[in-house]
Structure 1
Amino acid sequence: MATFFAVVSRPGGDDDEDDIILWVGTDYAELPEVRAAIEAVRPYAAIPDDLVSLLESDRLNEGARPRPVWLT
């Protein structure tokens, strides 16, 4: 989907939809850069210092799927 995604849930919840505070990166290329995903969750989470490099490395190893024609 050529995007990073992030989900923030209430602590101690059952991880159902009622516990979701934030869910971003569900649209194609919504968050193409890792820093955008991190900034989206920064108000809710402690961000490890190495998270940017870890996610960038993951993207380089995994790549991204091209946008399907039916999504245009």
Structure 2
Amino acid sequence: MRRQLALLSALALVPAMIGPLQAEARSLVAPLCGGASLSIPVAPEGPPGPSQGPCCAKGCHAGSCRKRLDRPQ
């Protein structure tokens, strides 16, 4: 009896050791009240907008060229 229980418990842990299977879904489909459906992308290939290199990631203002509210003009 104990041997069967140990075997059953070991077999119950097999799915936890393997992990979830890979899903190929790229979007989530939600049904709407009117009968239509809404498709929401799950993992887009990249960020929205045009692709830019790392050189465009610098700030627009450098140093003290911005106007400050505490500085008299």
TM-score by length of 1: 0.20
Higher relative contact order (CA 8 A, sep 6+): 1
TM-score by length of 2: 0.19
